C-alpha cells in the first residue's frame, strides 16, 4: 500500500482553514505526476486530483467534500488520507486505461456485454437479430444483466442455468404485458426440452462474455468457461422425408411454391437463403449457387447436381442478374413467414402427417447425402457448417441400416471359423 503523505499544509482542518482563498485549488504532490488538490469554499472545502498528461496540461477529477465541518464517511466526505487513496486509485485507473487495459473504475455489466455482442453480431451480418434480442431480453438480462462482469462467478451462472431448466416455457404476450408461461411439463421429455433450451441460451451468454474478454473488458474468463452445458439432452432423432414423401410433397405444391421446395430439396439451403437468392448468385459454368450471407453471417457456395443445375437454369431464364430467382405467384418476394401456410397445405394434400416445417427439407437433403455415403466434411461445407461437429450431431446417426450395410461391405470376411489348413 502506498504511504500516506503527511503534510500540515492540507492534513488538518486547522491547516486548511488558514489557507488563503483563491479560485484554483491548493495542490500537494503525492506521486510523480499526480497532485491532490484542496479547494476552500465559503463553508467547507472539497478534494480533487490532477495528473500531468504532457505539454503543460493536466487531467483533473473531483473526489468529494473535505471533512472541514462534518465527519468523514469515506464516500461523499473524505479525510486527507482517504482523499489521497482515491487520488491514487484514480491515477492507477487512468494509467491502465492508457495502456489498453479495462478501466477498473468503470462498472461493466453483463448487460453491457450483451449490448456489445448484439452490435458485433449485426456488424458481422448475423441474420437472427430478433431471435437474439428475444433470448437476451427474456432469459438473460432479467437475472444476470445488472451483475458486474468482474464479480460474475461460476456459482451465479450455474444457479441461473438451473433456474432456466426448471422454469416453464414462455409463450407470447402482448407488448407491454407481463410474461406468460405454459403449464410445466414434468415428464422426462419435458425436462429434456427445457435443458436443451437452457443450453442454447447458455451458448448466447458465453459468446457475449467471451467477446467482452477478447475486448479486455474483464480480466478472466474462468467464471463461464467452467460452466458445463447439460449433457445428453439433444433431440434423439431428426425428422426427414424419404424419397417417396419428398416426391409427393413436390407434386402437392402449387407452381411457384413447388419451385422453392424443389430448390430446398436439391441444395439444403434455408428458406431465407432461397427467398433472397438472386439470378447473379447462380453460376451455370461452375454449377454452383452463391449464398452471400448465411445464418452465421458468412458466405458459401453450394455445388449443384445435374438435376439442381437444370432447375436453376430454368428458374433464371429471361431474368436480370439483380432479379430474385424465386418469387410468389404475384411476382412478389417470399416474406419471412409466407411459407408456413403453403407447407401445411401441401403436407395435407401429400398425406404427410404430422405436417413438417420448411426446415425439414434441409434435413432431408443432408440425411440423403449421409445415407448415400457422402463424407461429412462435404455435407458440412454444403450446409455452411463451420466444421463437422454440427453435421455429426444431427445426421451421422440417421440411417443405422446404411451404417450396418457399409460396415458389412467394408469389413469383409475374416473366415475365422474356417478349418485350419
Report the pLDDT averaged over residues 11-21.
88
| Nearest CA among 112, 101, 137, 102 for reference residue 208 | 112
β-pairing, 26-31 vs 34-40, is antiparallel
Per-residue pLDDT tens for 295-321?
Answer: 766 789 999 999 999 999 999 999 999
The CA-CA-CA angle for residues 99, 104, 107, to 5°, reads: 130
Q: Is pLDDT above 70 for 218? A: yes
Query: Would you kindly state where each structural domain of the chain is located, as residue ranges?
Result: 8-98, 110-225, 243-408
The rounded distance, in Å, linking the Cα atoms of 204 and 139 is 10
The rounded distance, in Å, linking the Cα atoms of 245 and 240 is 9
Please answer whether residues 129 and 192 qualify as being in contact, where contact means their C-beta atoms are separated by less than 8 angstroms.
Answer: no
Per-residue pLDDT tens for 72-81?
Answer: 888 889 999 9
Distances (CA, A) of 15 to 7, 46, 74, 86: 9, 14, 20, 21
pTM score: 0.56
| Nearest CA among 314, 302, 312 for reference residue 267 | 302
Report the pLDDT averaged over residues 187-195.
86
Topology (CATH level 3) of domain 8-98: Double Stranded RNA Binding Domain (3.30.160)
As its CATH architecture, domain 110-225 has Orthogonal Bundle (1.10)
Q: What sign for the dihedral angle of Cα 371, 377, 383, 388?
A: positive
Topology (CATH level 3) of domain 243-408: hpI Integrase; Chain A (1.10.443)
Helix (H) or strand (E) holding 320: none
User: Which phi and psi (to 5°) does residue 46 adopt?
Assistant: -140, 155
| Nearest CA among 356, 159, 340 for reference residue 240 | 356
Place of cell 488538490: 37
Please answer whether residues 30 and 48 qualify as being in contact, where contact means their C-beta atoms are separated by less than 8 angstroms.
Answer: no
Q: Which of 131-135, 141-145, 185-189, 323-327 has the lowest mean pLDDT?
A: 185-189
Half-sphere exposure of 193 (CA within 13 A, CB side): 11
Q: Is pLDDT above 60 for 3? A: no
User: Which phi and psi (to 5°) does residue 279 adopt?
Assistant: -55, -40
Q: Is pLDDT above 70 for 396? A: no
The rounded distance, in Å, linking the Cα atoms of 157 and 162 is 9
**Which residue has better confidence, 254 or 4?**
254
The rounded distance, in Å, linking the Cα atoms of 259 and 275 is 11
Per-residue pLDDT tens for 316-344?
Answer: 999 999 999 999 999 999 998 899 999 99
**Which residue has better confidence, 135 or 397?**
135
Q: Which grid coordinates are listed for 132?
A: 437474439
Domains 110-225 and 243-408 in one fold: no
- Highest mean pLDDT range out of 1-15, 217-231, 248-262? 248-262
The rounded distance, in Å, linking the Cα atoms of 327 and 323 is 9
Q: Which grid coordinates are listed for 81?
A: 488520507
Q: What is the pLDDT of residue 43?
A: 82
Q: Is pLDDT above 90 for 118? A: yes
Give the mean pLDDT of the chain: 87
The four Cα atoms 323, 304, 240, 388 give a dihedral, to 10 degrees, of -110
Q: What is the pLDDT of residue 1?
A: 44
Task: Provide, rounded to the nearest whole percent, the portion of the chain with pLDDT above 70.
Answer: 89
Amino acid at each position: 500500500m502506498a504511504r500516506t503523505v503527511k503534510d500540515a499544509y492540507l492534513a488538518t482542518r486547522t491547516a486548511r482553514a488558514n489557507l488563503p482563498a483563491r479560485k484554483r485549488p491548493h495542490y500537494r504532490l503525492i506521486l510523480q505526476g499526480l497532485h491532490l488538490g484542496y479547494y476552500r469554499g465559503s463553508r467547507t472545502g472539497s478534494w480533487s486530483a490532477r495528473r500531468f498528461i504532457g505539454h503543460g496540461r493536466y487531467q483533473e477529477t473531483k473526489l468529494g467534500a473535505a471533512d472541514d465541518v462534518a465527519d468523514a464517511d469515506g464516500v461523499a466526505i473524505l479525510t486527507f488520507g482517504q482523499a489521497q487513496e482515491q487520488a491514487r486509485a484514480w491515477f492507477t485507473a487512468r494509467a491502465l486505461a492508457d495502456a489498453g487495459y479495462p478501466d477498473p473504475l468503470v462498472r461493466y455489466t453483463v448487460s453491457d456485454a450483451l449490448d456489445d455482442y448484439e452490435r458485433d453480431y449485426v456488424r458481422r451480418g448475423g441474420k437472427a437479430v430478433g431471435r437474439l434480442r428475444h433470448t437476451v431480453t427474456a432469459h438473460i438480462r432479467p437475472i444476470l444483466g445488472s451483475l458486474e462482469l468482474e464479480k460474475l462467478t461460476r456459482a451465479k451462472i450455474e444457479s441461473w442455468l438451473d433456474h432456466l431448466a426448471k422454469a416453464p416455457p414462455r409463450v407470447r404476450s402482448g407488448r407491454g404485458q407481463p410474461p406468460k408461461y405454459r403449464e410445466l411439463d414434468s415428464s422426462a421429455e419435458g425436462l429434456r426440452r427445457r435443458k436443451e433450451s437452457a443450453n442454447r441460451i447458455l451458448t448466447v451468454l458465453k459468446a457475449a462474455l467471451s467477446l467482452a474478454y477478447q475486448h479486455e473488458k474483464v480480466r478472466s474468463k474462468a467464471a463461464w468457461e467452467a460452466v458445463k452445458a447439460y449433457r445428453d439432452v439433444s433431440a434423439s432423432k431428426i425428422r426427414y422425408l424419404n424419397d417417396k414423401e419428398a416426391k409427393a410433397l413436390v407434386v402437392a405444391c402449387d407452381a411457384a411454391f413447388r419451385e422453392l421446395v424443389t430448390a430446398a430439396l436439391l441444395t439444403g439451403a434455408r428458406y431465407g437463403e432461397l427467398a433472397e437468392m438472386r439470378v447473379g448468385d447462380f453460376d451455370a459454368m461452375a454449377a454452383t449457387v452463391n449464398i452471400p450471407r448465411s445464418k452465421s453471417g458468412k458466405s458459401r457456395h453450394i455445388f449443384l447436381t445435374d438435376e439442381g443445375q437444370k432447375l436453376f437454369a430454368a428458374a433464371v431464364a429471361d431474368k436480370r442478374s439483380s432479379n430474385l430467382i424465386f418469387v410468389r405467384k404475384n411476382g412478389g418476394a417470399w416474406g419471412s413467414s409466407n411459407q408456413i401456410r403453403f407447407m401445411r397445405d401441401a403436407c395435407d394434400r401429400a398425406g404427410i402427417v404430422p405436417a413438417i416445417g420448411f426446415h425439414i427439407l434441409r434435413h432431408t437433403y443432408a440425411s440423403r447425402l449421409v445415407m448415400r455415403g457422402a463424407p461429412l466434411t462435404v455435407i458440412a461445407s454444403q450446409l455452411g457448417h463451420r466444421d463437422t461437429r454440427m453435421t455429426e450431431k444431427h445426421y451421422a446417426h440417421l440411417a443405422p441400416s446404411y451404417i450396418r450395410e457399409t460396415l458389412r461391405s467394408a469389413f469383409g470376411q475374416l473366415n475365422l471359423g474356417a478349418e485350419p489348413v
